[in-house]
């Protein structure tokens, strides 16, 4: 009985296929029959038509209407993207890099698209001479970070926004150069105060030991990051690779701590053009974080300090396709993401 049933089923399919490939078969009837076909039968008909187009004769007589309907049926079976309006990752990265360039704090980089790298360095040297402080004379450190550039532009930010107190977290990331800068800032800025913060006791002791070698108004404190964290009174939270170290969840908590603590400014490293862990961009072993992407969705920064690493050389300043690997973002807290932070 089962053999006879399979034979009858095969005959019915052959009759349906034969009727569809008959030129005399009416267009309206073909539409009704096609609607009854299963997904597997649609696939069979499509393959049959493709074979006919490659030279096999089936008597279709050039029936393009049937082919179009089969193609449409197959397209409907294909999964649709979750968001058809989602931008390509490379376009998002280029947009982020362009927005950073528009708010670059180094005016010599922003003022001309045709200035050479040598001319840019000369302009910066002239500006540094006028300001007195030329940055810590360290050049690139063991991590490839331009400490001279970072320290010089940090002081400029503090002068422009009248910032006199700073929280440095995690202080172990900057202890090979921050004590020297603390001593200089204590001289340059009236009523200067520095607070180094760490989450581990051994790191806390290390920061305190290094700062004891310099003069200035400083102290070191422990920091426990949670949904209720409050920061010591200060004008600026400075974090060099700190958000990358603590990850997305703790970074989110720390950003909200700015509001609870009434800290008006924040300055931290960001990785433009990258996604965060769990959002399709960064592997777990990579220390990257991008506050422009989910779940943060922060607005563009008020200032961006680019070309702070050896990898992101200033010679690429005029390359429109270049996306820096690491940028220092400066935010007014109230403009990060109004209504959320």
| 73 and 116 within one domain | no
Instruction: Convert 263-280 into a string of H (helix), E (strand) and C (coil).
Output: CCEEEEEECCCCCCECCC
Kindly state whether residue 235 falls inside one of the protein's structural domains.
Answer: yes
Question: Comparing C-alpha atoms, which of 214, 136, 144, 205 is closest to residue 171?
Answer: 205
In a domain, 220, yes or no: yes
Residue 83 lies in a domain: no
- Residue 84 domain-assigned? no
Nearest Cα neighbor of 15 from 36, 2, 53, 1 is 36
Buried/exposed 209-233: b ≥16 CB within 10 Å, e otherwise? ebbeeeebebebbebebeeebebee
Statement to judge: residues 194 and 315 lie in one domain:
yes
Confidence class of residue 7 from pLDDT cuts 50, 70 and 90?
low
Domain ranges, residue 119: 89-335
Strand ranges across the sheet with 236-239: 218-222, 193-198, 165-168, 236-239, 265-270, 327-332, 303-305
How crowded is residue 86: how many other Cβ atoms within 10 Å of its Cβ?
A: 9
**H-helix or E-strand containing 195?**
strand 193-198
Asked whether the predicted pLDDT for residue 235 surpasses 50, the reply is yes
Number of structural domains in the chain: 2
Is the domain of 73 the same as that of 102? no
Pair 94, 323: CB distance under 8 Å: yes
In a domain, 160, yes or no: yes
Same domain, 50 and 99: no
Report, as an integer, the average pLDDT of 136-162: 95
pLDDT, residue 232, reads 98
Whole-angstrom CA distances from 326 to 105, 111, 175, 312, 313 are 15, 21, 19, 8, 11
Q: Which residues pair with 332 in a beta bridge?
A: 265
13 and 69 inside one domain: yes
Q: Please list the residues that pair with 328 across neighbouring strands.
A: 269, 305
Question: DSSP secondary structure string, 147-182?
Answer: HHHHHHHHHHHHHHTT--EEEESSGGGTTTTHHHHH
Q: What is the pLDDT of residues 89-134, one digit of tens each?
A: 778 888 888 888 788 877 544 444 444 566 656 655 655 555 578 8
Q: Please give the pLDDT value at position 12.
A: 65
Residues 93 and 73 in one domain: no
Whether residue 97 is found in the same domain as residue 28: no
Question: Which long-range contacts link 28-33 to residues 24+ away (Cβ below 8 Å)?
Answer: 30/66, 30/69, 31/69
pLDDT of residue 243: 96
Contacting residues for 177 by C-beta, under 8 A, at least 6 apart: 136, 138, 141, 147, 151
Model confidence pLDDT, tens digit, residues 22-63: 544 455 555 555 555 445 554 554 555 455 444 444 444 445
Same domain, 61 and 177: no
Cα separation, 105 vs 306, in Å, equals: 8
Alpha-helix residue ranges (DSSP H) falling in the chain: 2-20, 27-36, 39-53, 64-77, 89-102, 107-110, 117-131, 147-160, 178-188, 201-211, 242-260
Give the pLDDT of residue 57.
41
Residue 221 or residue 20, greater confidence: 221
Q: Who wins on pLDDT, 158 or 285?
A: 158
Instruction: Give mean pLDDT, residues 163-183.
Output: 98
Examine the domain organization and report whether 251 and 121 are in the same domain. yes
Q: pLDDT category, 18, cuts 50, 70, 90?
A: low
Q: Give the pLDDT mean for 69-75.
A: 60
Predicted confidence band of residue 221 (pLDDT cuts 50, 70, 90):
very high
Give the per-residue pLDDT at 74: 56
- The per-residue pLDDT for 317 is 73
Q: Are residues 46 and 73 in the same domain?
A: yes
Split at pLDDT 50, 70, 90, the class of 10 is low
Domain presence at residue 70: yes
Among the three residues 77, 98, 120, which one is the final residue of a domain in this structure? Answer: 77
User: What's 247's domain CATH number?
Assistant: 3.40.50.150
Selection from 65, 54, 68 nearest residue 23 by Cα: 65
The b/e string for 41-65 (b: 16+ C-beta within 10 A; e otherwise) is bbeebeebbeebeeeeebebeebee
Closest CA to 287 of 300, 277, 296: 277
Percentage of the chain beyond pLDDT 90 is 52
Looking at 10, 45, 77, the residue that finishes a domain is 77
pLDDT averaged over every residue in the chain:
79
Q: Is residue 232 part of a domain?
A: yes
Do 27 and 124 lie in one domain? The reply is no
- Least confident range of 71-75, 81-85, 149-153: 81-85
Report the alpha-carbon distance of residue 237 to residue 10 in Å, rounded.
75
- Tokens matching residue 95: 């947009």
Query: Quick check: 185 pLDDT over 50?
Result: yes
Please indicate, yes or no, if residue 132 is contained in any of the structural domains: yes
Q: What is the pLDDT of residues 279-332, one digit of tens each?
A: 444 555 568 999 999 999 999 999 999 999 999 977 777 777 888 999 999 999
State what percent of residues in the chain have pLDDT above 70.
64
In terms of domains, do 212 and 302 share one? Answer: yes
CA distance 67 to 64: 5
Confidence grade of residue 3 (pLDDT, cut at 50, 70, 90)? low
C-alpha span between 293 and 49 (Å, rounded): 46
The residue from 46, 77, 108 where one domain ends is 77
């Amino acid at each position: 009985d089962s053999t006879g049933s399979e034979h009858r089923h095969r005959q019915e399919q052959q009759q349906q296929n034969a009727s569809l490939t008959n030129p005399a078969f009416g267009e309206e009837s073909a539409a009704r029959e096609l609607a009854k076909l299963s997904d597997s039968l649609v696939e069979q008909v499509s393959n049959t038509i493709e074979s006919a187009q490659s030279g096999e004769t089936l008597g279709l007589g050039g029936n393009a209407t049937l082919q179009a309907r089969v193609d449409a049926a197959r397209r409907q079976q294909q999964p649709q993207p979750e968001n058809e309006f989602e931008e390509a990752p490379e376009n998002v990265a280029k947009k982020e890099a362009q927005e950073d360039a528009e708010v670059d704090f180094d005016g010599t980089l922003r003022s001309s698209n045709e200035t050479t790298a040598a001319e840019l360095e000369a302009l910066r040297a002239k500006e540094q001479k006028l300001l007195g402080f030329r940055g810590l004379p360290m050049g690139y450190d063991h991590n490839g970070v331009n400490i001279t550039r970072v320290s010089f532009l940090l002081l400029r930010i503090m002068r422009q926004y009248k910032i006199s107190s700073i929280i440095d977290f995690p202080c172990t990331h900057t202890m090979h150069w921050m004590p020297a800068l603390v001593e200089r800032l204590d001289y340059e800025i009236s009523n200067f105060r520095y607070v180094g913060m760490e989450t581990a006791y051994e790191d806390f002791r290390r920061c305190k030991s290094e700062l004891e070698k310099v003069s200035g108004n400083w102290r070191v404190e422990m920091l426990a990051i949670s949904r209720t964290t409050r920061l010591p009174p200060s004008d600026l939270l400075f974090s060099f690779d700190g958000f990358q170290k603590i990850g997305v969840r703790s970074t989110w908590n720390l950003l909200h701590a700015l509001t609870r603590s009434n800290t008006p400014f924040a300055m931290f490293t960001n990785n433009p053009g990258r996604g965060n862990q769990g959002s399709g961009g960064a592997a777990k072993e990579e220390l990257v974080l991008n506050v422009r992407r989910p779940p943060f969705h922060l607005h563009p920064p008020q200032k961006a300090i680019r070309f702070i690493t050896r990898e992101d050389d200033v010679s690429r300043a005029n390359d429109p396709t270049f996306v820096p690997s690491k940028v220092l973002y400066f935010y007014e807290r109230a403009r990060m993401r109004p209504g959320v932070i």
